[in-house]
Amino acid sequence: MKYQRNIIITGGAGFIGSHVVRLMVQKYPQYRIINVDLLTYAGNLENVADVADAPNYVFRRADITDYPAMLALMEEFSVDGVIHLAAESHVDRSITDPFSFARTNVMGTLSLLQAALNTWKATPEGFSGKMFYHISTDEVYGALEMDSPMFTEKTPYSPHSPYSASKASSDHFVRAFHDTYGMPTVITNCSNNYGPNQFPEKLIPLVINNVINRKPIPVYGRGLNVRDWLYVKDHARAIDLIFHNAQPGESFNIGGCNEWRNIDIVKLIISLVDSRLGRPEGADDDLITYVTDRAGHDLRYAIDATHLTSKLGWKPSLQFRQGISETIDWYLDNKDWMDRITAGEYKNYYSRMYGDK
Ligand code: NAD
Ligand code: TYD
């Protein structure tokens, strides 16, 4: 079958990528979706098992830093679109192992850009009908004070963690490929995501998992840092809309308009999980354990998504209460997923960070 489009999605076995792969495979049977993922500790093909047999879906295990492999894939599938999510994504890991973040996030993005450039330049139509979409984070803007206005697309970059520095660097390379070679690119900077299939090193699934298993919940510092939480399926919907409608060179902020202090979210999750499990109110409040703050911990992130809303009509679909309840239900209904994930490498990592509790 001749497909209307051939799109590589990198990182499609990870948290957000798996939701994007599912959406694109199911919504666009006329597109071939090539999921390129190295299957690191964070990648799990179970996340996309429900589309694995779809005729328009292909999976390739490959490392995005492997330029010849990326070039070969671009050529093999006559790729005309890249939606790039593969990354090292956890701030705490970036503090202990910054090299992996520079390697995957900077060199990996550069190798994909170069592969797309060389493949697309060699086609008769050049860049026409092509798009390189880079998924980034609001963390590139640095940290806000409690009373500062939200991040807009014009906020200067000021990353603090090795993670956000590597993402900022990759964003700069994407812009440079647009400005230097005229490559059609788009960048989006999104706030914190939550939802099904998130690896339990991140705050929300970690808290859900620890309440279920009555393990201590590490709250960094005094728990007063603020994050703007967006339901992952709303992010995937925004990516679809932007991939199809962005002007080359454009960038958009994506956010939930949903700011929470960490400690409030932790308390809400404890109470919702306990209520779902029929435990008395307050039964697990003493799981909260204040621990040494994260080094360089950004105080607050908050996104102004007016550009996306006014230009493309996107808005978050779910209220946080509904999203977090659905997320908790998913983790309770998929305990075996969590048990498998936490049995291996993650268990060792958690023990290294917090002791063998
Ligand atoms: P994740 O850690 O859950 O998944 C990352 C995926 O990338 C995994 O499947 C992993 O196997 C794959 N991968 C890692 N290194 C690779 C390599 N060298 N080659 C090929 N594949 C590789 O990440 P996520 O939370 O789904 O984030 C996806 C993207 O969205 C990242 O670029 C991240 O910076 C960005 N982002 C995440 C959030 C969030 O809250 N999670 C918010 C904004 C932006
Ligand atoms: P995280 O989910 O790691 O996302 P990010 O650092 O990219 O925003 O953390 C969200 C917030 O929760 C952040 O302020 C750090 C804090 N946090 C804890 O207090 N305890 C934890 O165990 C984790 C993982 C995070």
pLDDT in tens, 192-218: 999 999 999 999 999 999 999 999 999
In the structure encoding, which two tokens stand for residue 136, read together? Answer: 């980034």
In the structure encoding, which two tokens stand for residue 128, read together? Answer: 């026409």
Active-site residue 163, yes or no?
yes
Question: Pairing state of beta strands 217-220 and 288-291?
Answer: parallel
Q: Whose CA is nearest to atom 25 of ligand 2?
A: 203
String of DSSP letters for 105-132: IIIHHHHHHHHHHHHHHTSTTTTTT-EE
Is the pLDDT reported for residue 247 higher than 90?
A: yes
B/e letters for 195-211, b = 16+ CB within 10 Å, e = fewer, are bbbbbbbbbbbbbbbbb
Measured CA distances, 319 to 260, 303, 323 (Å) = 13, 16, 6
Q: What percent of the chain has pLDDT over 70?
A: 96
| CA quadruple 128, 57, 174, 119: dihedral, nearest 10 | -50
The pLDDT value given to residue 343: 78
The pLDDT value given to residue 341: 82
Is the pLDDT reported for residue 353 higher than 90?
A: no
The pLDDT value given to residue 348: 59
pLDDT in tens, 300-328: 999 999 999 999 999 999 789 999 999 99
Mean pLDDT computed over every residue of the chain: 95
Q: Which residues contact 68 (CB under 8 A, 6 or more apart)?
A: none
pLDDT in tens, 40-71: 999 999 999 999 999 999 999 999 999 999 99
pLDDT confidence band for 162 (50 / 70 / 90) = very high
Active-site residue 350, yes or no?
no
Partner residues linked to 8 by β-bridges: 34, 82
Is the pLDDT reported for residue 349 higher than 70?
A: no
The pLDDT value given to residue 357: 47
pLDDT confidence band for 340 (50 / 70 / 90) = confident
Other CB atoms within a 10 A radius of the CB of residue 252 amount to 22
Compute the 3-state secondary structure of the chain and give helix, strand, coil in percent, each to the nearest 5. 45, 15, 35
Q: Which residues contact 180 (CB under 8 A, 6 or more apart)?
A: none
Catalytically annotated residue among 31, 163, 194, 231: 163
pLDDT confidence band for 115 (50 / 70 / 90) = very high
Is the pLDDT reported for residue 355 higher than 80?
A: no
Nearest ligand 2 atom, CA 221: 19
String of DSSP letters for 162-217: HHHHHHHHHHHHHHHHHHHH---EEEEEE--EESTT--TTSHHHHHHHHHHTT--E
**What's the whole-number mean pLDDT along residues 85-102?**
98
pLDDT in tens, 249-264: 999 999 999 999 999 9
41 and 16 Cβ atoms separated by less than 8 Å: no
Going 170 to 146 to 202 to 333, the CA torsion angle's sign is: negative
Cα angle 206-271-319, degrees, rounded to a multiple of 5: 80
Active-site residue 41, yes or no?
no
56 and 29 Cβ atoms separated by less than 8 Å: yes
The reply to whether the predicted model has a pTM over 0.95 is yes
Q: For ligand 1, say whether the CB of 323 is within 6 Å of any of its atoms.
A: no
Ligand 2 pocket: which of 262, 267, 354 to mutate (most atoms within 8 A of CB): 262
Domains assigned to the chain: 5-194+231-255+301-319+346-354 (3.40.50.720)
In the structure encoding, which two tokens stand for residue 122, read together? Answer: 């060699």
Q: For ligand 1, say whether the CB of 201 is within 6 Å of any of its atoms.
A: no
Cα angle 321-324-328, degrees, rounded to a multiple of 5: 135
Q: Whose CA is nearest to atom 4 of ligand 1?
A: 14
195 and 231 Cβ atoms separated by less than 8 Å: yes
First vs last Cα of the chain: how many Å apart? 53
pLDDT confidence band for 352 (50 / 70 / 90) = low
Burial class for 344, CB neighbours closer than 10 Å (0-12, 13-18, 19+) = exposed
d(CA 181, CA 200): 40
Residue type, 82: V
pLDDT confidence band for 339 (50 / 70 / 90) = confident
The pLDDT value given to residue 292: 97
